[in-house]
Structure 1
Amino acid sequence: MALTPKKKQSSDDKRSRQANAEQEALVREVDEAVRQSDAEAFLEAWGKPLFGLLIAGLVAFGGYLYWDSRQEAEMERDSEALVGALDQIQAGNLDSGFDRLEELAGKDGAGAAVVAAMVRAGIAEQRGDTEVAASLFQSVVENEDAAPAFRDLARLRGVALNYDDMSSAEVIAALKPLAVPGEPYFASAGELVAHAYLDQGQRAEAGALFAEIAKDDNGPESIRSRARQMAGVLGVDAIEDVDALLEEQGVERDPAEGENAAATTE
């Protein structure tokens, strides 16, 4: 008698578990159906735009790779053209090197094109083609992609070529930004500006600038020597250390001179 309730309870538990399993299976089926329906609805609404976006992205990426490869190939061609022309120039074939660089120098941008223009300008200047050289130098000055050092050098060389045909005011306006101590071309630019000051009758400004050039340790010695002499003519002392200057010039100073000078000072 005691076993009957247990069998009935076991049978009820089994049916309950089976009902729960069937319910869970039904929930899963409904959930999957809903998910599939949502996915289909999403793809139907956004599938084409997303596919188009994907294609556009792939095309853009492919275009970039193509552009990058073209850029590298063009840079290699430019470098080869520049090296070939420089080899001709080094071998003494200036005309051949000048002609080889014509196409490269006519390109936009910086890099090899700027170097080519500067080299052609130098060859033209050496051949006496002042107008051609000045035009090439000016093209570099006006090239905003060129490095500042190249543009400044081109400006300096252009003014040096056309100095006799320029007014003193034009020379000063063009080179005054470069005629500043610490600038790479201070000595060369400063010398031209100082002479332009003299042309204007501004002896004090010219003398002071010549003195600064003479004291510039980074300037070429030939320019410093000329500046020292000009400063002296204009009454400006440009010598900071007489002994150092004499040693630099290879002149031996008599010790007695130094003693006499010291006695005179006292």
Structure 2
Amino acid sequence: MALPPQNSDAFIREVDEELRRDQIFGFWARYGRTVLVVILVGLAVFAGFLYWRHHQDQQAGLTGEKLQAAVDKLSANRFTDAKPALEELTRSDRAGYRAAARLALGGVAAQADDARTAAARFAEVAGDAGLPQPLRDLALIRQTAVEFDQLPPQTVITRLQPLAQKGSAWFGSAGEMVAAAHLKAGRPEAAGPIFAAIAADPSVPETIRTRAVQIAALLGVDNQGR
């Protein structure tokens, strides 16, 4: 428990700090996790579709057709109809199709608030050394997003630190979660510069930059010219 303020100025500062902390965590709880979960299905499907398109000329056939049909059903929000084909594709002898199916099923589970299943699906892809690194990185981001509330802050920071660097394709998503983990651990001085850097990076998606601007402002950090 905080010591009683010694004077009115100290009391005001203490109240201001508590209010600021409540605003930051309220903002993250209201928008951050919800937004991350909502985009899981879209990102997973998009990644699977791109991977399929990249190999379709060489790997055309029944497996490709099944994946395309499943993607079409997911795009139409027919998640239940898509699941049998996706489950079958997770056993494909082609690594790319297995990865795409697992990413998509992870997104479906996350949409259904089944965080444990979603995390397991994403972890399968993230831990597969035979897959292209971009797919593995995407899966690690998705896994951490659905597990965020249950993970110790340092686990999030350690796991995502390599991706939470300026110049990384995942700087926005990974950096936001790393910064939020610092806040969760009571280290706003470590979180503020990360949010400010995200806000100032034009390569970061606008929705993430907007959140970063607002949280950096709450933390009293300059947004580096934004």
Cα 1:117–1:196 shift into 2, 3 Å: same
Query: Aligned-pair RMSD on alpha carbons?
Result: 2.0
Asked whether 1:238 is paired with 2:210, we answer no
Counterpart of 1:126 in structure 2 is: 111
Rounded Cα–Cα distance in structure 2 between residues aligned with 1:78 and 1:198? 45
CA shift digits 1:180-214 (9 cap, x unpaired): 01111111111110011122222222111111000
Counterpart of 1:96 in structure 2 is: 81
Equivalent of 2:171, from 155, 173, 186?
186
Counterpart of 2:146 in structure 1 is: 161
Question: What percent identity do the matched residue pairs reach?
Answer: 38
Rounded Cα–Cα distance in structure 2 between residues aligned with 1:129 and 1:201? 28
SS at match of 2:162: coil
Q: Is the 8 A contact 1:138 1:158 kept in 2?
A: yes
Alignment of 1:1-266 (within 5 A): 76-107=61-92, 110-240=95-225
Q: Is the 8 A contact 1:120 1:136 kept in 2?
A: yes
Structure 2's unaligned 5+ residue stretches are: 1-56
Q: Is the 8 A contact 2:197 2:224 kept in 1?
A: no
Rounded Cα–Cα distance in structure 2 between residues aligned with 1:108 and 1:169? 36
- AA in 1 matched with 2:142: R
SS at match of 2:131: coil
How many residues matched? Answer: 170
Rounded Cα–Cα distance in structure 2 between residues aligned with 1:200 and 1:127? 29
CA shift digits 1:27-82 (9 cap, x unpaired): xxxxxxxxxxxxxxxxxxxxxxxxxxxxxxxxxxxxxxxxxxxxx99862321221
- AA in 1 matched with 2:143: G
Stretch deviating more after TM superposition (144-153 or 104-113): 104-113
- AA in 1 matched with 2:88: E
Cα 1:109–1:169 shift into 2, 3 Å: farther
Rounded Cα–Cα distance in structure 2 between residues aligned with 1:145 and 1:108? 12
- Which structure: larger Rg? 1
Stretch deviating more after TM superposition (194-203 or 161-170): 194-203
Normalising to structure 1: TM-score of the pair? Answer: 0.59
SS at match of 1:240: coil
